[in-house]
């Protein structure tokens, strides 16, 4: 079973690290979307009325735009 949620990227932060602070990693903060004027958001809010997610990304090809919403799909992982 896959469960889909809708989250909005609130902000992006950059953190320097490494021996000379020359490497940079990005962190993104997301919260569940709830907009009473949007029918799709009303459906998501009924299943996920609140939630938050913070992720750290080192891959330069992966970016998220603050203020933009994204779908988050949860699919069970195989046991390892």
CA distance 52 to 33: 10
Q: How far separated are the first and last CA of the chain, in Å rounded? A: 19
Over residues 20-65, the pLDDT tens digits come to: 877 788 999 999 887 777 788 777 766 666 889 999 998 889 999 9
pLDDT of residue 11: 96
Higher per-residue pLDDT: 31 or 18? 31
Report residue 37 CA to chain centroid gap. 22
CA distance 7 to 80: 28
**79: pLDDT strictly greater than 80:** yes
Nearest to 31 by CA among 54, 64, 63: 54
Element (H, E) at 54: strand 52-57
The band of 12, judged by pLDDT with boundaries at 50, 70 and 90, is very high
The domain segmentation of the chain, as residue ranges, is 3-73
pLDDT of residue 64: 97
What average pLDDT does the segment 69-74 reach? 91
């Amino acid at each position: 079973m896959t469960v889909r949620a809708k989250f909005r990227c609130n902000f992006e932060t950059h953190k320097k690290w490494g021996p000379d602070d020359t490497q940079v990693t990005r962190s993104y903060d997301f919260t569940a979307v709830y907009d009473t004027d949007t029918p799709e958001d009303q459906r998501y809010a009924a299943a996920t009325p609140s939630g938050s997610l913070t992720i750290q990304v080192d891959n330069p090809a992966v970016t998220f735009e603050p203020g933009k919403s994204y779908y988050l799909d949860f699919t069970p992982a195989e046991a390892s």
